[in-house]
Structure 1
Amino acid sequence: MFDYFELVRELLDEVQRSEEGSMDRAAAMVADTIERGRVLHYFAAGHSHMLGEEMFYRAGGLAPVNAIIEPSLMVSYGAAKSSKLECLHGLAKVIFEESGIKPDDVLMIASTSGVNAVPVEMAAEAIGAGVRVIGITSIGASNATLLRNGSGKRLFELADVVIDTHVPYGDAAMEVEGVAQRIAPVSTVIGAAIVNALVVRVVRLLVERGIEPPVFASANIPGGQEFNASLLKRYSGQIRAF
């Protein structure tokens, strides 16, 4: 079972070797946005939404992060239905218009395949509105997957900055003799490492600029809830879920 750990380490090493430049650019983009008093929005469908949950209202995480969680695209609200809706043309436009995203904000979109209508059209909507887009995707997996949107584009072809997760085609990364299907998906653990590393870089950039980073404390330590209350008040006008 610990060969899964080794596989994840290898993928993380590949991300570290190959994606430093992209991650630096993404972090600078987010730091610029926070410096202007604006926020980072995160959007994804299916299991990829968990990266947004990881960053949102998180002890040790950035306060100005808005996770756009659309229930109809979550597997817990109907697994097969969510997969069908992710391919529905026009849904992203509705979600974007209701999101409250402004041109000075940044939108991060995660999709391992990067081919379905909703994440691709969400990126197109954002770009059309003057919003900069960070894409977290697997370029190799995306190129190997048939397009399921009408634009003829993949997420990595639209985003201003692309962070390649290097996740294999199909996400599941291991084989067991006698089992036809590959097992052990890796996109969540690799994606979570990427977004937390980005937070670290953003915080350091803000400190270098002489800006106090708006970082949540744990609500389970003395004074944590009181400290967080000021951040919630500061950003509640931009982040509806607060």
Structure 2
Amino acid sequence: MGEQAETAAKAEKAEKAENAETAEKTPAEGFFDAAVALLEQVRDGEAAAIEAAGKLLAETVSEGGRIFAFGAGHSSLPAQDTVYRAGGLAVMNLLNVPGAVGVDVRPATMGSALERVSGLAAAALDSSPARAGDALIVISLSGRNTLPVELALHARELGLKVIGVTSVAYAQQTSSRHTTGTFLKDHCDIVIDSRIAVGDAELTAEGVGAPFAPASTVVASAVMQGIVATATVELARRGVEPPMLRSANVDGGHDWNAHVMDAYADRIFYR
């Protein structure tokens, strides 16, 4: 191949590569790319906080404490994903605030309304098994509503350690709905920033009147699993056999889980 032909071939190859890079992505590809980018940001930027949160849970379990997780509305999904979960710690418990999940009540908007009710958090926490020495993970995308703020505030007053999973951007770009003007992040021992932008929507498209494709659940769920994984390994490092659950759909899984739940019966509240 002559020099001129070789140069032309290289130029054509470069043009094809550039066209491939700039080709319009499908909506699914756009969402996956956005979610992966966010996960990488959190993995790299929040590594120390996630490590600290996992070690805090391990310390809590080692010292006989209990672990609770809470999220209102769709923020409840990452919390639920760690409770009675194959491959997870048996001692993860969901803190129950009736009606706050949102999507399981009618109308669904009731959940959003309850997030703004003062006193609900304290009543729920005081009625729960939580006590001094326990750990509570509060998941709230915005961290601005009364419920998560009061829950974290009251939990610390009771002697619990609080881990917050929230988007710090909301504290920088929105106003608090709590009477103190504070956010969830202001009442936590450890804060993990989900890096989600205000509005929680990663895509826009012609003909679609509002941004769409929220990624907060993907990121918060990954954070929660990262915390639990860290706690699991830390327990083993401390010489404590982690109380792991196995899938009930594999041979021996049900019997294994029954044994673990009996051993930790005083710290499991979903049976």
TM-score using structure 1 length: 0.97
Point out the structure with max Rg over C-alpha. 2
Partner SS state of residue 144, structure 2? coil
**How far, CA to CA, are the matches of 1:12 and 1:237 in structure 2?**
35
Verify: 1:206 aligned to 2:228, yes or no: no
Q: Percent identity?
A: 35
Q: 1:45 aligns with which of 72, 97, 103?
A: 72
Structure 2 counterpart of 1:30: 57
Q: CA offset at residue 92 of structure 1?
A: 0.4
| Conserved 8 A contact 1:22-1:163 | yes
Structure 2 counterpart of 1:240: 269
Partner SS state of residue 72, structure 1? coil
| Conserved 8 A contact 2:30-2:203 | no
**How far, CA to CA, are the matches of 1:60 and 1:142 in structure 2?**
34
Structure 2 counterpart of 1:14: 41
**How far, CA to CA, are the matches of 1:89 and 1:178 in structure 2?**
40
Equivalent runs, 1:220-231 vs 2, <5 Å = 220-231=249-260
Verify: 1:77 aligned to 2:123, yes or no: no
Q: CA offset at residue 240 of structure 1?
A: 2.5
Amino acid at match of 2:176: L
CA RMSD in angstroms comes to: 1.1
| Conserved 8 A contact 2:137-2:165 | yes
Give per-residue Cα distances to partners, 1:114-137, cap 9 Å, x unaligned: 010000000011011111100000
Q: CA offset at residue 231 of structure 1?
A: 1.9
Verify: 1:158 aligned to 2:173, yes or no: no
Equivalent runs, 1:143-222 vs 2, <5 Å = 143-222=172-251
Verify: 1:67 aligned to 2:64, yes or no: no
| Conserved 8 A contact 2:60-2:134 | yes
Amino acid at match of 1:168: A
Gaps of 5+ in 2: 1-27
**How far, CA to CA, are the matches of 1:11 and 1:44 in structure 2?**
20
Structure 2 counterpart of 1:90: 119
TM-score using structure 2 length: 0.86
Moved more, 9-18 or 231-240: 231-240
Give per-residue Cα distances to partners, 1:182-214, cap 9 Å, x unaligned: 101111000111111111111111111121111
Which aligned segments of 4 or more residues in structure 1 are displaced greater than 3 angstroms? Answer: none
Verify: 1:115 aligned to 2:113, yes or no: no
Gaps of 5+ in 1: none
Amino acid at match of 1:188: T
